[in-house]
Structure 1
Amino acid sequence: MPTGPATGQCVNILIVGQHGRLQYEAALFAASFARLTHSRPFRLFVAEPQPSRLWDQNPRISDHQVRELLKDCGATILPFENRHFGASYPHGNKIEALFALPAGQPFVFFDSDTLVLDDLGRVPFDFDRPSASLRCEGTWPKPELYGPGLTQIWKSLYDRFDLDFESSLDLSQPDDFWRRYLYFNAGFFYYRCPQIFGAQFLDIAVGILNDPPRELLGQTLDPWLDQIALPLTIHALGGGRDALAPGYLDGDTTCHYRLMPLLFARESDRVVDTLRATATPNKVKRVLKNYDPFKRMIYQNRGQKVRDLFDQANLPRREQAIRNRIKREGLWIR
């Protein structure tokens, strides 16, 4: 089994940073990355979309203190152009940003709302076999009462792109149960070359958007387009659900927290302690306090009030139930 990047091999870490929430999430990611990852082969790139007709306002990082902190953490701000997506589907940034990375070098993409918990050099990546996050719920598709079922919907997509459907299935799961089908959260993914992965990802995503199979009639593509195209991309490139040993990403090494109230509600004490340790230095604190959810949750103790509402060893099964409880208590912020 692979034990991580080969000695001397450069591995590029990619996140997106832009005006608004993501620039502060990128700052927190960079601070946690710099604090805990000391393996030489890793380089952090913060992809920054550039103004164009596809954006209704300037999407670039607007807080100069964020820029300074990113550079202080060793990150490189990487401008990229949107040619297919923009304000109408900002999730598309994670696809188009791949083309700005150096070709032929392995990469790992993370959603910006991720906290690094340990040295990424511990993760046993096999960059020839891509994978992505299995920490997800069955969010898509939602079959209609008299419409096609999950098998028909997913098979139509594999057929649309000339991919083998049967080999993607987890046959230990029952037919028409969402876990039977290859499905990921797009919070992280990786491969040996960003250009190859990006071209496959883009081709599939644009193909679904512009010419969906008729079985998708009535299905919502926004915001799920990236998570629909991702498993097809990974399958096409020889990866799958078992390509990465469990327990590392979305586990001991990283946490995809998504929103601060959810982090405090459901993550382990180790995650909360890592967050607080990362956010404590003055150079980090003065930046993160510019973003109201971070200021209130981390520095004004609202996060601990959220945490006290839940038994982290006995959480509600559905995320929506957690959100509703926090909102009833007047503690929700995003």
Structure 2
Amino acid sequence: MARKPVQAQTYNIAVVGQGGRLSYEALIFAASLREMSPGFSGRLLVMEPQPGPLWKGDPRIQQTDVRAALADLGAEIIPFETRHFGSSYPYGNKIEMLTALPPDEPFVFFDTDTLVTGDLGQVPFDFDRPSASLRREGTWPIPQLYGPGYTGLWQSLYDKFGLDFDSSLDLSQPDEYWQRYLYFNAGFFFYRCPRVFGEKFLEYALAIRDTPPVALCAQSFDPWLDQVALPLVIHALGGGRDTLPPGLLDGSVTCHYRLLPLLYARESTRAIEVLERVTAPNRLKKVLKGSEAVKRTVYQGRGHKVRALFDQNDLPRKEQAIRNRIKKNGFWIR
């Protein structure tokens, strides 16, 4: 059945850009956005953390050629202050950067290691009902032998913030199975106002980090803190797991590849074609060769050697097994 046309939407896209790998990923993201979604009419905002006492070094994008290439692709570099996380928890960037986005304007956040592979205009965002990526594994919590199970652990958080726990459950999944409980990957999320979303995200994340419920005394929040707080924020703001049609984000329109060797190992042939097409122009190639990962994996062809290690119809179930095989063969690079 043909999909109904999506009414044109205007919104901002935000990614985090800082020195090192993320700056090159931001450049690839911007190039893929312009190539694959030429009708996108919003602003592309590369959110850049500023130096301060919580950073061990200067987190800003140092390479002038990367900054110039981002500007050439219509990206705006927007500074934000780090007041709570920094080097000890860099995933906190995606929480703290929300305060620097334009208020009262719909936004979609993407992790920088995302490739746009289709037309974002096909995606019918409901900015009143936030959601996030369902491409995830059951990484948190890890119930202990003598402690509470999934229900007790998650309910302790909903109770802490005065949220209704029962309405968050997917009753089609078995009791005490991780997918019954609202859990996302933080690779993308969206809402109608970044300030409202960001204030609640920060409130919940800091409260979980600093004064967690007793039930969570044996649980680790590093690196999972953002993904522990995120479902609570989405639930509190009236969103959920079913506010987007499946198969678009993390499907035909975007690809959250995480690292380039993983892209070649497990993503679609189309994702690889898009990556190689958008990184081919000489003006970008000169800049992207500053990244050893891009130079070796894309331009020197190591990615295709990684691809040959795997049967695309029979991939290992766990990401760690994919990583281990790539490392064993000497092709791992960040």
Q: TM-score, normalised by structure 1?
A: 0.97
Aligned 8 A contact 1:234 1:240 in 2: yes
2:206 counterpart residue number: 206
Identical counterparts, % of pairs = 63
Tell me whether 1:156 sits opposite 2:174 in the alignment.
no
Shift of 1:316: 1.0
Secondary structure at the aligned position of 1:14 is classed as: strand
- The 4+ residue runs of structure 1 with deviation greater than 3 A are 1-4
Query: Would you say the 8 A contact 1:108–1:190 is kept in 2?
Result: yes
Residue in 1 that maps onto 2:108: 108
CA distance in 2 between counterparts of 1:144 and 1:21 reads: 36
Per the alignment, residue 61 of structure 1 pairs with 61
Residue 136 (1) aligns with residue 136 (2): yes
Residues 279 and 2 from structure 1, CA distance in 2 versus in 1: closer, same or farther, beyond 3 angstroms?
same
Are 1:134 and 1:183, in contact at CA under 8 Å, matched by a contact in 2?
Answer: yes
C-alpha distance 24-107 of structure 1, shift in aligned 2 (>3 A): same
In structure 2, the partner of 1:325 is: 325
Q: Which residue of 2 aligns with 1:215?
A: 215
Match of 1:233 in 2: 233
CA shift, 1:41, in A, is: 2.8
- Tell me, what secondary structure is at the counterpart of 2:19? coil
| Post-superposition offset of 1:154 | 0.2
Hey, what does 2:170 align to over in structure 1?
170
- 1:2 and 1:125 in contact (8 A); partners too: no
SS in 1 for 2:45: strand
Q: Is the 8 A contact 1:30 1:75 kept in 2?
A: yes
CA deviation after TM superposition for structure 1 residue 40, in Å: 4.7
Once the two structures are TM-superposed, the CA of residue 3 in structure 1 deviates from its matched residue by: 5.7
2:83 corresponds to = 83
Give the root-mean-square deviation of aligned CA atoms.
1.2
Is the contact between residue 127 and residue 190 of structure 2 (CA under 8 Å) also seen in structure 1? yes
Partner Cα separation in structure 2 for residue 131 and residue 67 of structure 1: 31
In structure 1, the gaps of 5 or more residues are: none
- The answer for the alignment partner of 1:119 in structure 2 is 119
The corresponding residue for 2:287 is 287
Contact 1:135–1:184, Cα closer than 8 Å, also in 2: yes
TM-score (norm 2): 0.97
For 2:48 and 2:202, the matched residues in 1 are separated by 18
Shift of 1:39: 2.2
How big is the shift at 1:295? 0.7
Give the Å deviation of 1:170.
Answer: 0.5
Does the 8 Å CA contact 1:2/1:126 hold for their aligned counterparts?
no
Question: Gaps (5+ residues) in structure 2?
Answer: none
What is the total number of aligned residue pairs between the two structures?
Answer: 332
SS in 2 for 1:188: strand
